Structure 1
C-alpha cells in the first residue's frame, strides 16, 4: 500500500519533486483574492455627530453655571456672616413635664434603696474559706506531683520577700558548670525535699572535718546552689542537730542562696564558695 513509485533514477526524481514543491510554495505565497473586500475610499469632509456634541456642550455649560452660582453664594455668606440674623427658636412645651419629673425622682429613690440593701447584704462566699481550701489543695498537689508544683507560688514568694527585713549575709560566687561535691565530706547529715522562697528543692547537708556544706538542688532547672559554713557557725545558729531550723533560715534572692537572721562577726568569715552548676 505504501510502496514507493518505481523510478528509473531516484536522485533525479528527488530533485524534480523538490523543484515542484518550491514552485508551488511561490505560487501560494503570491496568490491574491479575486474579489476586492477593502473599504472604499471616502470623501475628505468628515462626518460629525452634531446633536450628541450639542447635548454634551449644553450639559457642561449648565454645570459651570451651577458651580459659579454656588461659589457666589458661598462668598456672600462668608462676607455677611456677622450681619446674618439668627433663626428664631421655638421651644416645644411638654404637656407631661411634671409627671415625668415625679417618675424620675421615684426611680432614683428606688435605685438608692436597692443600692443600700446590696451594700448591707453579707457575702455568701467566704474568701478565707477559699484560701484555706486552696492552701490544702496545693499541699496535696505538692505531695502527689512527680515534678515540683509551681502554680500559686507567687503569693508565697511575696510573703517571703516581705518578711526579709532582718540582717543578712550574702555569700557570692561565680557560676561554674564543672563544680562537683567535694570528696572530703564524710557524713550526710540531712536530706529532704523542702520549699525555699516558694519553690521546691532537694536539700542536702553534708559534714566535713571543719565545715558543713549545704546543697540546694533545683531538679527542674538543672542547677545546684552551694553554701559553705564552719561547724562553729552552725552550732551558734541551731541547738544540737536540729537542722530544720537551719533550713528555715535559707532563702533564694536573685539566684543567690542567702542566710536570714544571721550576721557574721567579721567580713572575712564569709566564704565565696557559692556555685550554681548544671547538674
Structure 2
C-alpha cells in the first residue's frame, strides 16, 4: 500500500496497515474467541487456505500474532495473540460496540437489548459452546482467577455495568448494587448446590475491592478492563461514564466449561437471580 509521507508518523495510518483489511480483523476476532488453529479459523471465517495462510503470515510479521508448535508430524501451529495483539482487543470491542449501536441498532444509547436484535442472538448463540481454554481475569487483589472454577458443579457468571455510577436515563443500567445484594443473600443456597458465582465488570480491580469491602460481597468480582472476556464471548457493551461497560446478563456454565443457559436481556433482576440458581442447580 502506497502511503503519503505524512502517514509515516501517524499512528492511525500505521494501525490501518495492520487492521485495514476485512480478513485481518476477522482473523483477530476469531483468535480472541479461542479459535487458534488453522482449520478452526478457516471453518469459522469461511476463508480459503491460501488467503488465510497469507493473512496469518502478515499478522505474525506485524508482531500481532505468534506461532506455537503443537504437532510435529505433520507440522501444525497455534496462532496466539502477542502483547501487541492483546492490546488490540479494546479496539475490536469498540468496533463491535459501534456496529451494534449504529449499524445493527437505531443509535440509541442503552444498557439493554431488543429480544429480536443482534445482541440477543449473539448472546444466546453461546449456549452449547465451551469457553476458551484457560480463560482467566484479575480479581480484586490483581490475582488472575478462572472464569469458571473447575471444582464447581456449575458456575453462574454475571456481567454488570458497574457500581457507584450515576447512570441517569440510560435504560437498563441501574440496579447493580441491588443485583449484588440479591446474589449475596442467595449465596448460602449457591454454596449448598456447589455452584460458584462470578461477577464481572470493566471496572478496575481496586474499584471492585472497595465495593466488596463496603458490601461484604462473598464471591469474587473479576475485572475485564482489557476486554479479554468481552472479545472472547462477543459480549454486548455500551459506552458510559468514560468507558465501555458490560450490559447485564447471566451465563450458566457447567463443569465441562460449556454454557448451558443464557439470560439476556434481564428486565427483572430479582427473578433473574432466582432463575440462575435454579438453572445452575440442574446443570
TM over 0.5: no
Q: TM-score range by the shorter chain?
A: under 0.3
Greater Rg by CA: 1
Higher relative contact order (CA 8 A, sep 6+): 2
TM-score scaled to structure 2, two decimals? 0.23
TM-score scaled to structure 1, two decimals? 0.23
